[in-house]
Structure 1
């Protein structure tokens, strides 16, 4: 029969403005009794759940070997997020210090609960906690810092905690749309573009399931290529008209309609190239995705999607057929330069070269 009990841990409540964090120590062997790792996934309704990447097994093994050695020490605190079931009972405050209050952290433990039902989630330290779990040790106390927050706030903290570490960009991009709170400027700038990208990948249309991400691992179009295309259009191109410059939000429905109205005929017109992977096609390659994004901006900037003459756009796109080399042949540029179809790479210079070439063709 599964155990149910209450874990009472000495803790220090630290006030940071209107927020509180709780500093405490806990036996790492007991951590997984009440703490879950919130794995990033999408539910049956395609809603984002969780935020953590998969365990890095080689990293866990290395930490475990260290923990089982003599004199092992883990001085860095783990970061946990609690739900409302976790309580802090304050003790007597320290004289002259009102921002730090000693007390007791009350954590309910029910070993019969599924992972997603536990009262705490690991925001930072999953590899260390897994190594402690697997290590041949009777106990291993660790320092921890906890806070009470919603899952959206947890995602924000997860990104901030890992912003100076090599966190996979794809994971960050998928988390951004469902993240609240202050973010680094570079991430905040990409938040709206990331949201549109997720809508493209999860909805109907040519991008459905095609964009590679942690919850769409079979996608073969690089998320960063789509993100760059969208970001440029939102800040400088056709999608700019739907953006609220005051708060950085935008008319997502209008943006999505505009993008699909352009890219659906592109995918249909160049069906063979669109159906291939980036290794086999420069249309689905980063250089092609970004270049065609510039074409969309050139043809439809400052015109609301329901006012664009899409028939004219399709006729213009048809005029590119004799000048593109998505899957074979050579690119022939106006300066006399020729490149093999797969000679173009996802570099700033090549994106500029192809974008300029295609924009000139549609402007004739």
Structure 2
């Protein structure tokens, strides 16, 4: 052993009696207990956010303070029974030592033993594990008066962030997560948990592109689950409206984006879609500069109802625009000029709809009425 090896301190570990359950031969599952005060030594909460390069990190929603307080009040009451355990992602290097004796395993392959879990050496050190489910409970437990309260934990040993996100979405499928949180996580999950979510995966990836591409008119205008509070004031477009508009166009055989999918080969020309979307929405921005980039309370173009209606108009406009032409953005502007005089994004009244500009809401009825009106007016004007 070298001198350097001799001087290297041994990492702190926490030993707990545990059951090892082999549901998956590559990912061991451990069932054990932790004291409330030990949770923050073992695992942290992976808040959803983005790094400086725009890459998505984490997956957990923001803290719900009232919910946490209600759990804490119960934990601090008398005669507490708290079977609601936590699900953790443990580091791959946890060590499990089987107990000695002939009766340590059963017919299902469940083995009793001792689990050694690395722990943080101080509150300023990174935790080795992550809370996958139960973040509100873990926050309440950390603040509870009884610091030694025993908490049931199911921990799977994997440092794979993709697997952690997948499990997070699956365990929360009964009590649905916020739509925008699920939508933003989807591009980071290889296999969506359901066909419904799978249909939103590509649209969410495209929304990421529109938000991060400097060439996009939506650059840094889209509000996502990872958007920091101080940035929210500048983000005026809700991602769900764009995701739904893209999903409709990709799904419908009459949609402009549908043509970029090769159903037989299972491939999609994402670069072609990128060019189409940036071209169309740049034309929209140039046609309505006074309505672009303003809060939805000041501009219904940036409101969900406007985004969805203009997304449906995209299917009619872009079939007439040659993306390889000399100036495709100008071609979009010429097409939108047919309906521009009829639009009331920031003031006035939509005459045919009989609605003040700010009365339109992000409802199925209003979206359909506005979209149908714009498409009908566009088609009539071109005849």
Q: Tell me the equivalent position of 2:359.
A: 343
* CA distance 1:184–1:143, shift in 2 (3 Å): same
Aligned-partner Cα distance in 2 for 1:281–1:55: 31
- Are the equivalent residues in 2 in contact too, given 1:300–1:308 (CA < 8 A)? no
- How far did residue 12 of structure 1 move? 1.6
295, 307, 323: which is aligned to 1:289?
307
* CA distance 1:248–1:135, shift in 2 (3 Å): farther
Tell me the SS of whatever aligns to 1:274: coil
Aligned-partner Cα distance in 2 for 1:308–1:175: 38
Aligned-partner Cα distance in 1 for 2:372–2:213: 31
1:73-152 aligned within 5 A:
73-91=81-99, 97-112=107-122, 114=124, 117-149=126-158, 150-152=160-162
1:1-364 aligned within 5 A:
4-18=11-25, 19-91=27-99, 97-112=107-122, 114=124, 117-149=126-158, 150-204=160-214, 205-216=216-227, 217-218=232-233, 219-236=235-252, 237-245=255-263, 250-301=268-319, 305-306=323-324, 310=328, 311-333=330-352, 337-363=353-379, 364=382
Aligned-partner Cα distance in 1 for 2:245–2:319: 14
- The Cα RMSD (Å) is 2.5
CA deviation map 1:303-348 (0-9, x unaligned)? 8844797243321112222111111122233xxx532222322222
Structure 1 residues without counterparts, runs of 5 or longer: none
Tell me the SS of whatever aligns to 1:273: coil
- How far did residue 3 of structure 1 move? 10
**TM-score of the pair, normalised by structure 2:** 0.86
Tell me the SS of whatever aligns to 1:208: coil
- How far did residue 54 of structure 1 move? 2.1
Moved more, 12-21 or 245-254: 245-254
- How far did residue 6 of structure 1 move? 1.4
**TM-score of the pair, normalised by structure 1:** 0.90
Aligned-partner Cα distance in 1 for 2:218–2:52: 19
- Are the equivalent residues in 1 in contact too, given 2:105–2:112 (CA < 8 A)? no
